[in-house]
Amino acid sequence: MKLIEDANQQVLARILEGEPRLVDIVPARQVIPALRERMILHAGPPISWDRMCGPMRGAVAGAIVFEGWAQDLPTATKLAAGGEIEFHPNHHFGAVGPMTGMTTMSMPLFVVENARFSNRAYCAINEGLGKVMRFGGNDASVLKRLAWLRDVFGPTLGKAIRAAGGIDLKSIVARGLSMGDELHQRNLACSSVFLREIAPWMARTSTDNAVLAECLAFIGQNDQFFLNIAMAMGKAITDPANGIRGSTIVTTMCRNGTDFGIRVSGLGEQWFTAPVEMPEGLYFAGYSEKDANPDMGDSAIVETIGLGGFAMAAAPAVAGFVGAGAPSEASNFTRSMGEITVAQNPEWTIAAMDFAGVPTGIDIRLVVDSGVVPVINTGIAHREPGIGQVGAGVVKAPLACFQQAIVALARDLGVS
């Protein structure tokens, strides 16, 4: 159908022509004016408190205390359960967040600008590993780190990014793919290359070298630091590609720990959801499948633009980390994702596949026809609030989302 093909070419061009630059770090309320007191943005499609999973409830309670809307976690939980907190998806406000994906008014957000289409997208700063809010952590250590990110790290790094005139992200991702990153469960290379670029600017703009050293060490000790930047980049790239009538290309994939949700360009803001699946993967010592929460987070935005599970061939080491089989077979994942995508990204290539581009542009028709669903490299959170990460794995997008979307699209186009 020519309408569909034309629409898809347009969507694809918009995805590939994006020019994402990291331009700032600012408090959330400054870039999302609608973000009020007692309002929390979360990962995934819309969800109410009563359907939220354990770690998301834990993160919500922590975020409430962090913002000072309650004095302690039990009071915070009561507040949320009593309907006193307004919940919205990050995606409704140009934002994304990993795992629980908490975004509240005072949190510092990365600002990524897509220079080609003059739009912006946002993501909070990666907190590091261990017990952290994105995995449902909410104790004093978690809140203390968030306060440091807000009061010290965010302002320090923001100043450097502004002084640098922004940081081009496509080139960092291209380098990272040649250095073993797939940009979801492995961001070591991009985090390191980002530090190479920003460190001189941090030195030029810093007045307190103890703070400077602390900030450099924070980036240097967090192998996943770049993930949140990549996520904001993914959002900045996909937003202009959404809402092209007739297009069957997926512009959003995300999950809230209860539901998996997708959006398709031709159907704009409409969500198609299905129960989220359980990741299959490897667990940290002392944990097993029975501790795991179903999959969670807006981070699947990176798979939506051809990274993560789609770029597994670039990162054979990650195949082992997420329990996806032999590292030497990592390229099978990338080849398989090539069956459900309409193009390769000529700027993001994989050396081990003789510089083939990452598979880009998930077509719901190809997914439904083949039964091959997108694979997503993901972290695994404990199902109880307050505990944190217990492993990493691979999860599949539920086929039902794509089936619903194709039916809705056919109806929209008057085909049935």
Other beta carbons less than 10 A from residue 213's beta carbon: 11
Name the residue nearer to a copy of itself (CB basis): 139 or 197.
197
Cα radius of gyration (the chain): 20
Structure tokens at 16: 């590939």
**Nearest Cα to 99, choosing from 64, 127, 69?**
127
Name the residue nearer to a copy of itself (CB basis): 160 or 244.
160
46 binding a copy of itself? (CB under 8 A):
no
**Nearest Cα to 15, choosing from 113, 121, 114, 118?**
114
| Near a copy of itself in 195-224, by CB under 8 A | 195-197, 199-201, 203-204, 206, 209-210, 212-214, 216-217, 219-220
Alpha carbon separation from 384 to 74, 131, 265, 280 (Å, rounded) = 15, 13, 35, 18
How far apart, in whole angstroms, are the C-alpha atoms of residue 125 and residue 142? 13
How far apart, in whole angstroms, are the C-alpha atoms of residue 375 and residue 368? 14
192 binding a copy of itself? (CB under 8 A):
yes
Q: Which H or E element spans position 94?
A: none
Name the residue nearer to a copy of itself (CB basis): 200 or 268.
200
Residue selected from 128, 166, 180, 323 as contacting a copy of itself according to rule CB under 8 A: 180
Name the residue nearer to a copy of itself (CB basis): 226 or 283.
226
Report yes or no: 169 and 229 within 8 Å, Cβ to Cβ.
yes
**Nearest Cα to 42, choosing from 93, 111, 110?**
93
Binding mask 233-252 for a copy of itself (x = CB under 8 A): --------------------
**Nearest Cα to 239, choosing from 125, 118, 107?**
118
Name the residue nearer to a copy of itself (CB basis): 168 or 412.
168
Name the residue nearer to a copy of itself (CB basis): 267 or 358.
358
Q: Which H or E element spans position 76?
A: helix 73-81
Binding mask 303-322 for a copy of itself (x = CB under 8 A): -------------xx--x--
Name the residue nearer to a copy of itself (CB basis): 46 or 320.
320
**For a copy of itself, which stretch binds (CB under 8 A), given 145-153, 191-199, 236-244, 262-270?**
191-199
Q: Residue 351 CB, nearest distance to a copy of itself (Å)?
A: 4
Structure tokens at 141: 């250590």
| Near a copy of itself in 319-378, by CB under 8 A | 320, 326-328, 330, 351-355
Binding interface with a copy of itself (CB under 8 A) = 175, 178-180, 188-189, 192-193, 195-197, 199-201, 203-204, 206, 209-210, 212-214, 216-217, 219-220, 316-317, 320, 326-328, 330, 351-355
